[in-house]
């Protein structure tokens, strides 16, 4: 393993931060899109949003039951992708 200069390490760290910021923006965009989809569905398709599904309206089923697993899944994807970015940078620093 060759020694890297502080400038090279700073450049690698800067690139990692930019990649993780891009990833965070992508996940946030999906999250905000989901949040906006609910009132939009209520506005554009009130009959569908008000449809009774296993004792809940479709809107409340999404908000009260399905929303949290979706958020957990998004969070897990973010953490996995972020860890992968860090591993790639670590391999580059070591190799």
Q: Which of 12, 19, 28 is nearest to 94 (CA)?
A: 12
Share of the chain above pLDDT 90, in %: 44
Q: Region 81-88: what's the mean pLDDT?
A: 94
pTM: 0.75
Other Cβ atoms less than 10 A from the Cβ of 76: the count is 10
Q: Region 33-62: what's the mean pLDDT?
A: 88
Per-residue pLDDT for 74 more than 90?
Answer: yes
């Amino acid at each position: 393993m060759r020694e890297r200069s502080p400038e090279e390490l700073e450049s690698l760290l800067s690139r990692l931060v930019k990649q993780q910021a891009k990833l965070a923006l992508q996940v946030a965009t999906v999250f905000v899109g989901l949040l906006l989809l609910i009132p939009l569905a209520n506005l554009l398709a009130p009959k569908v949003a008000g449809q009774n599904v296993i004792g809940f309206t479709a809107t409340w089923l999404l908000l009260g039951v399905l929303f949290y697993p979706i958020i957990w899944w998004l969070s897990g994807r973010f953490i996995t992708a972020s860890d992968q970015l860090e591993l790639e940078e670590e391999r580059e620093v070591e190799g």
